[in-house]
Structure 1
Amino acid sequence: MKFKALKTKEELSLYSDLTYKYIDVRLPLEYLQKSKVIACFNRQGFICGGFVIVLEGPFRVITSIPNFNEQKWHHQLKNCAEVTGLWFDNSHTHRRASIKFWLKVYFELLKTKKEYFTYAWSLKKPKLGEIYAHGNPVILFRGETNILPGMDQTDHESVEIVKRRDLLLTPLLKPTFLLKRVRGTRSLKAHNQHQRQILSRPIIHEAN
């Protein structure tokens, strides 16, 4: 599995389509163009996951909060990055693929030098919430969010913010998170065929 920063319009459009398939949000192209989009590729050259880091607001996850008191969190948000568009196909056959993916997310966030990170997860996916809980986040909002461009309907989400310091200590204080992903098994599914169905043409990118 390899990683690559996506930059071209074609690459970003493909990532937006895949993100919609996996998490029901089609991130606008202009939002991706101002962000850092990291995709991971399987051995066949197909995208099998990725995430988006946004360094400058306004952040989508904050905008999604109804009647949010941004002034209350001004100090944190002025030195904050947003993590969005995160997904990973868990039918990937390599047992260590998941840990490699999460370590990439971890180190890319630390490279930003931001002191806080904000993100959201759907309450329909409690296992994702369990993963994020390892960083001891603060819940900014939990409930029905505003509809944003790229969303078909409202969702019930937890919007959270985590300190860089807490994120940094997570692998040391809670190593079981990584160990579970080393030992986990993956079933073989037609992931590549899945991706071909999204577009009318086969899309293969070389991961440099």
Structure 2
Amino acid sequence: MPTDSLQLIGAGGHAAVVADAALLSGEGRMIVYSQDRDQVGHDVLGYMVQHLDEGIVLRRIHVAIGNNVVRSRLQQQFSGRGAIPTTVFHPQATIAATSAAGAGSFVAAGAVLAPRSRIAEGVIVNHRAIVDHDVLVGEFSHIAPGSVLGGGVKVGSGVLIGAGATVLPGVAIGDGATIGAGAIVLTDVSAGATVVGVPGREMRKNV
């Protein structure tokens, strides 16, 4: 295996999205792995999925799995073995010069990281999501397609912002919270809560 190959971990739909972005960004070599033997031999954009066993040396990786908990666990596990998480930006994403993205994060086509925004390691900013100025997004969160984080929003770790949701400027979202698709969030959200509707209302806490 060439030492500069991008090693993609995951073989589902999100992996195909990341692989496409990586190829368009000029990644010349890529290998796709999965720990799920049922996915081995499947095709991801022309790359045959290989089984990720204990003997494989991981060097430059991207964990392309949408589930926040699984992505966090695998990235931290493989980083502990010396692998380097690699950030992937689609060339049609808008990335401000004063924004910052942590190791292993992904920004999809049409997404925006506005000036002074910060996303931590392992964050997904999906298609056409907007992370406005001065927004902070905690590690291993997922900002789903078409969602909007207004200026100065603070998002904790392991948060899911559902497709098409809007979080108004200055609102804080606690760790592990879930914002339902299409919700409009007007006020702060506690850790572990689920918020749905317009205006957004807290429904329950995850346990």
Larger helix proportion of the pair: 1
Larger strand proportion of the pair: 2
Indicate whether the TM-score tops 0.5.
no
Q: TM-score under structure 1 normalisation?
A: 0.27
